[in-house]
Amino acid sequence: MTDETTPAASCCCGAEHATRTGTPGALSRRRAIGLGAVAGLAVPVLAACSSDDSGSASAESTAESGQVLGKASDVPVGSGVIYSDAGVVVTQPTKGQYEGFSAICTHQGCPVSQISADGIVCTCHGSVFDVSTGDVLEGPAPSPLDSVDITVKDGEVTIA
């Protein structure tokens, strides 16, 4: 197989480029390397959105029993607070009712990142969880957020 370079006529950009002659449809070395690089980058990107065998990620918090998370007065009624360092979300669905959940989404293990009027939101892939129960309101998360036992005593939210 020959792969010779011959000068070509001016192209649409006005420059003269070399063209390859040889086997029609043959893959040039440069194109083969480029395609390999694209394939090498695509695999990890696609793998990041694939699910594991169980369809859910580990959703354990890093909080320890007795750990003080913050003031109960900082947790708004009908919403909540994400304690990222402890991996815990504390909500107050109704005045005086506090709930604790893992801050790790059950879809791919991303940390939930916000609490909106819709619920507890994981912005990695768009899952939304109920502030009262941790149940999935909108997928792709396959299961609710794990419950975390909390107590409210002397105005402080603590891991039970």
CB-count exposure of residue 31 (10 Å: 0-12, 13-18, 19+): exposed
Task: Give me the mean pLDDT over the 40-48 stretch.
Answer: 46
Q: Please report the pLDDT score of residue 52 as a whole number.
A: 42
Q: Is 103 left (phi over 0), alpha (psi -120 to 50) or beta?
A: alpha
Indicate the DSSP class of residue 102.
Answer: E
Using DSSP, how many helices (H) and how many strands (E) does the chain show? 1, 12
Indicate the DSSP class of residue 106.
Answer: T
Domains of the chain: 3-48 (no CATH), 68-159 (2.102.10.10)
Average model confidence (pLDDT) for the chain? 78
The structure's pTM equals: 0.63
Question: Is the pLDDT assigned to residue 9 strictly greater than 90?
Answer: no
Q: Please report the pLDDT score of residue 160 as a whole number.
A: 93
CA distances in angstroms from 50 to 47, 54, 57, 62, 157, listed in the order given = 5, 11, 11, 25, 36
Question: Is the pLDDT assigned to residue 57 strictly greater than 60?
Answer: no
Q: Helices marked H in 17-154 — which ranges?
A: 29-48
Residue 139 or 8, more confident = 139
Question: How do residues 132-156 score in pLDDT, each as one tens digit?
Answer: 999 999 999 999 999 999 999 999 9
